[in-house]
A = this chain, B = another copy of it.
Amino acid sequence: MSDKKQPILVVKLGGAEGLDIEGACSDLAALAQPPVRMVVVHGGSADATALGEALGHPPRMLTSPSGFVWRHTDRAALEIFTMAVNGKRNTLLVERLQAHGVNALGLSGLDGRLMIASHKTAVQSVEGGKRRVIRDDFTGRVERVNDGLLSLLLEADYLPVIAPLALSTDGFAVNVDADRAAAKVASALEADTLVLLTAAPGLLRAFPDEDTLIADLPRGRLDAAMDFAQGRMKKKILGAREALAGGVRRVIIADGRRPRPISDALAGMGTTIQ
């Protein structure tokens, strides 16, 4: 049994290309000696895109009236997502962690109602200047985390590995943003630290110039960071804000391309927000 008082570390492993997954797994194994308690949340959108293309169902992007772009997840795309992300990516991560001696246990947010999400049954999309109503989008936003289930597993020395799917309040599987899901999980567990790994050294003041890394970002400057964060980094900043508001002590956005990405993040590399 782990000591319940030990701090909890939540790590988000990105789904994008370029991350050193083997490095992350061996690093997790080095760090995962009890009583350190850890939870991994992973992405997988690149896997889902590749599988969708192989099956003749490439991703179709939607644009909201306010200009936000997201992937249309109809039922076929959702099933592809379950295969690529909860099937292949999650299972192979667990396989690799187990090979390193870590007692990993894969879950999606549907399992034991681990993550309950809100789900809009109608969303607007703008195409060719016209608004359309989309009624078959299975994308959700995590609202509640079953921290009791995670605590049960952590206390029995399992390392939960979570795929970014949730159960919607209307009873469907929905895909969710993995960075923000990791933030919700970290908040629910009152984690000490949330590490968000990405294919960059951290938050860059002038993307993509890696010499403009911001090593420390005071919590009060998160709003300003939203202005210069690019693309997916905006989701990480939103996740960081949610995690800190939820009681997490610090969030580190760090380089997942390094061989010891989590140890390096904890040692101060990357962008620390607290």
Point out residues on A near B: beta carbons under 8 Å: 51, 54-55, 79, 82-88, 90-92, 94-95, 98-99, 103-108, 110-113, 148-149, 152-153, 156, 158, 165, 167, 171-173
Q: List the number of copies, as a whole number.
A: 2
Docked pose: A84 CA to B84 CA in angstroms: 9
**Are A98's CB and B171's CB within 8 A?**
yes
- Closest B residue to A112 by CB, please name it: B105
Which residues on B sit within 8 Å (CB–CB) of A85? 87
Docked pose: A74 CA to B60 CA in angstroms: 32
Known: A82-B88, A87-B88. A105 touches B111 (CB 8 A): yes
Known: A105-B112, A111-B106. A95 touches B156 (CB 8 A): no
Docked pose: A162 CA to B193 CA in angstroms: 32
Docked pose: A167 CA to B98 CA in angstroms: 8
- Closest B residue to A81 by CB, please name it: B87
Known: A54-B55, A103-B112. A87 touches B95 (CB 8 A): no
A86 to B: closest C-beta gap in Å = 5
Which residue of B92, B99, B158, B171 is within 8 Å of A79 (Cβ)? Answer: B92
Which residue of B106, B152, B156 is within 8 Å of A108 (Cβ)? Answer: B106
Which residue of B51, B95, B99, B112 is within 8 Å of A83 (Cβ)? Answer: B51
Which residues on B sit within 8 Å (CB–CB) of A98? 110, 113, 167, 171
A90 to B: closest C-beta gap in Å = 8
Residue among A85, A171, A172 facing the most chain B CB atoms (10 A cut-off)? A171
Known: A54-B55, A106-B108, A111-B104. A172 touches B95 (CB 8 A): yes
- Closest B residue to A113 by CB, please name it: B103
- Closest B residue to A161 by CB, please name it: B111
A53 to B: closest C-beta gap in Å = 11
Closest 7 A-B residue pairs measured CB to CB? A87-B87, A83-B87, A83-B83, A105-B112, A82-B91, A99-B171, A105-B111
Which residue of B54, B106, B153 is within 8 Å of A110 (Cβ)? Answer: B106
